[in-house]
Homo-oligomer: A and B are copies of this chain.
């Protein structure tokens, strides 16, 4: 991607583009870089320094929290044109949580330097407002996850997860491990495997190594939240 293409991308995807001064735009371009990540690679880890603002060009990313005992829960997925701001929490004292960010598929992203972006938001009302909206979005998404975890049982949540994967890939054959589902839902692999086995006994899915085939989508839908 040339600098001109990057500028065009910003023009099309950043609502505050027109509010940037000439010098701000110049700095934005020089503080942005394009990075490529292979499926499974970590872009940002809660234990490392913070990556920056991440804009997804292609692929899919997953933002998640993790425990000391290697349990995980997904906060949100990021697709083309989505933006992650929690990967720059180091520069915001009020964001006390560092999240992990992982490539679910091979992905390309634009990364904007955290400190530079913070300066931009601090000095420009429109950019700050854009950032505020993003943080409000993330708050809403995390509240959604909390609601799912607290008020719904795991059977419903696994049904939801399988249906989302079905809609996302437009295929009844889902290539994921039980471990991946557990890490998305904040559960343990054994628990998910037991639950999927029950789904199989009820003729809802057919399990094989690395694959879950939905055999009765209506029954699965009746289980969703």
Contacts and interface: CB of A to CB of B under 8 A. Distances in A.
A119 to B, nearest CB: 13
Interface in A118-175: 121-125, 128-129, 131-140, 142-147, 149-151
A97 interface: yes
A114 to B, nearest CB: 14
Copy number in the complex reads 2
B136 A129 contact: no
Interface stretch (A7-15, A65-73, A194-202, A213-221): A65-73
Interface of A: 65, 67, 69, 71, 73, 75, 92, 94-97, 121-125, 128-129, 131-140, 142-147, 149-151, 186
The 5 closest A-B pairs by CB, nearest first: A94-B136, A150-B186, A67-B151, A96-B140, A97-B143
